């Protein structure tokens, strides 16, 4: 699915988002950079409040006051989304990028039929489509996401669907205009485990069929391993480590990533293995510490960590990490090379 002129699907550069609260400016996203190729699936992992959803909302222009993008750029197929006016944004949302949310129980409007809401998504971007064609397309989409008896299902209201079914409807609704990018904001978090697996399976399947790119926001590393090509680990509004799934899982290079992996139960674990939690609490975003935000919780914290933000170090091609430990290793490496 590579584009001929080799443009990336999405390039986010130094994106900064702040919330201007009465208590002061909260830098929810403090300058993040990543890109996504056509058909690529990227996971964004992080704990609550790390800025992962805020970052996704700013791509869609869905940030609510007092949230505001204060810097950086979001290039979608070479166009800066942040410069879009209201009409262009409405055109962009739903057609080029779709989004599905965490809680399928509340994301569908309870007073309109599922069919109504599906066709509405289609007709918002295809003004001249006839009612019959829209209905046909909507039914196709429902079938595609694995809903049976679509003729009847179209006329039913959301409360007549189960949670998993509603998330399927949300996915069908998101994909009805064949977007190039799907942003999934914790789409499986509110579902029970068996349904989670089904929805993941469905998304993987649909991704293969449509070739769309997916940004998958989650705090569940297991889900990431399941579906993603690459991962960005976020902490306190910054990406602390970024790389292919295999890099992150087998060669984690940031203490926070290591901590996340250690605190996750594994199927292949030795018979009796304790989970190791990450000590401490997340950063107070109103008064972020100087230096590395993870430093106060880091077991390998050094003097410099408390004073200066670490720069990104490229560990392997496409695998980078923001940690002073890696910076020092890198320097040692270079010295050794220089010394022969």
Partner 1 sequence: MAKYTIKRLGMAFITLLFVACLTFLLMNSIPGSPWLSDKNPPQATIDALNEKYGLDKPVAVQLGKYLKNLAQGDMGVSLKMQKNRPVIEIIKDMFPVSAKIGFFAILWAIVVGVPLGCIAAYNRGKWVDSFLRIICTIGISMPSFVVASLLLTTFAGTNEALRLFPTIFDAKLGVNTYILPCFALGLYPMCYTARQARSSMLDALGQDYIKTARAKGLKNPSIIFKHALRNALIPVITYLGPQVAFTFCGGFVVEKVFSVPGLGRYFIQSISNRDYPVIMGTTVFLAAFIILMNFLVDVLYKVVDPRINLAEGGK
CB nearer to partner 1: pick between 167 and 242: 167
User: Considering the complex, what minimum distance in angstroms separates the CB of residue 59 from partner 1?
Assistant: 11
User: Considering the complex, what minimum distance in angstroms separates the CB of residue 69 from partner 1?
Assistant: 16
Instruction: Give exposure, 238-277, as e/b (b: 16+ Cβ within 10 Å).
Output: bbbbbbbbebbeeebbbbbbbbbeeeeeeeeeeeeeeeee
- What is the C-alpha separation between 239 and 287, in angstroms, rounded? 19
User: Considering the complex, what minimum distance in angstroms separates the CB of residue 161 from partner 1?
Assistant: 12
CB nearer to partner 1: pick between 108 and 292: 108
User: Considering the complex, what minimum distance in angstroms separates the CB of residue 186 from partner 1?
Assistant: 13
- What is the C-alpha separation between 328 and 325, in angstroms, rounded? 5
User: Considering the complex, what minimum distance in angstroms separates the CB of residue 227 from partner 1?
Assistant: 21
Q: In a 3-state reduction of DSSP, which class is residue 182?
A: strand
- What is the C-alpha separation between 340 and 335, in angstroms, rounded? 8
Interface residue list for partner 1 (CB under 8 A): 60, 62, 90-95, 98-99, 101, 103, 106-112, 120-121, 124-125, 157, 159, 170, 173-174
CB nearer to partner 1: pick between 161 and 294: 161
CB nearer to partner 1: pick between 109 and 246: 109
Q: What is the DSSP letter of 139?
A: H
Q: Distance between terminal CA atoms of the chain?
A: 44
Alpha carbon separation from 235 to 220, 232, 245, 255, 282 (Å, rounded): 14, 10, 17, 11, 9
Kindly state the tokens that stand for 233: 């680990």
User: Considering the complex, what minimum distance in angstroms separates the CB of residue 26 from partner 1?
Assistant: 19
User: Considering the complex, what minimum distance in angstroms separates the CB of residue 19 from partner 1?
Assistant: 16
Sign of dihedral through CA atoms 288, 294, 295, 297? positive
Query: Cα angle at 337 between 334 and 340, to 5 degrees?
Result: 150
CB nearer to partner 1: pick between 57 and 256: 57
CB nearer to partner 1: pick between 152 and 208: 152
Query: Cα angle at 99 between 122 and 216, to 5 degrees?
Result: 145
CB nearer to partner 1: pick between 176 and 305: 176
Best CA proximity match to 256, nearest among 228, 216, 298, 284: 298
Best CA proximity match to 154, nearest among 191, 211, 113: 113
30: phi then psi, degrees, rounded to nearest 5 = -110, 50
CB nearer to partner 1: pick between 104 and 293: 104
CB nearer to partner 1: pick between 90 and 251: 90
User: Considering the complex, what minimum distance in angstroms separates the CB of residue 99 from partner 1?
Assistant: 4
User: Considering the complex, what minimum distance in angstroms separates the CB of residue 112 from partner 1?
Assistant: 8
List, in sequence order, every beta strand (DSSP E) within the chain.
10-21, 24-36, 41-45, 67-76, 79-80, 97-100, 181-185, 213-218, 230-235, 238-244, 312-316, 319-322
């Amino acid at each position: 699915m590579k584009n001929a002129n080799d443009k990336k699907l999405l390039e986010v550069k130094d994106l900064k988002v702040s919330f201007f609260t009465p208590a002061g400016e909260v830098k929810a996203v403090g300058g993040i950079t990543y890109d996504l190729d056509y058909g690529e699936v990227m996971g964004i992992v992080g704990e609550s409040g790390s800025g992962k959803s805020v970052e996704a909302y700013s791509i869609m222009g869905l940030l609510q006051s007092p949230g505001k993008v204060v810097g950086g750029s979001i290039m979608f197929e070479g166009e800066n989304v942040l410069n879009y006016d209201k009409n262009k944004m409405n055109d962009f949302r739903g057609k080029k990028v779709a989004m599905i949310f965490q809680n399928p129980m509340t994301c569908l409007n309870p007073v309109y039929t599922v069919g109504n809401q599906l066709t509405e998504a289609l007709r918002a971007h295809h003004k001249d489509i006839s009612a019959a064609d829209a209905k046909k397309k909507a039914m196709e989409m429902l079938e595609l996401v694995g809903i049976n008896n679509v003729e009847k299902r179209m006329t039913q209201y959301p409360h007549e669907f189960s949670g998993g079914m509603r998330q399927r409807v949300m996915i069908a609704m998101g994909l009805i205009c064949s977007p190039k990018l799907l942003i999934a904001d914790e789409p499986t978090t509110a579902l029970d485990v068996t349904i989670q697996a089904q929805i993941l399976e469905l998304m993987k399947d649909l991704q293969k069929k449509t070739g769309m790119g997916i940004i998958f926001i989650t705090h569940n590393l297991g889900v990431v391993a399941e579906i993603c090509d690459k991962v960005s680990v976020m902490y306190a509004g910054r990406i602390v480590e970024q790389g292919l799934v295999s890099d992150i899982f087998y060669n984690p290079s940031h203490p926070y990533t290591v901590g996340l992996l250690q605190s996750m139960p594994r199927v292949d674990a030795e018979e009796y293995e304790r989970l190791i939690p990450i000590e401490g609490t997340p950063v107070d975003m109103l008064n972020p510490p100087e230096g590395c935000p993870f430093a106060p919780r880091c077991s390998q914290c050094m003097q410099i960590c408390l004073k200066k933000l670490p720069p990104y170090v490229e560990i392997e091609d496409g695998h980078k990490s923001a940690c002073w430990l890696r910076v020092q290793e890198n320097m040692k490496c270079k010295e050794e090379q220089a010394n022969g």
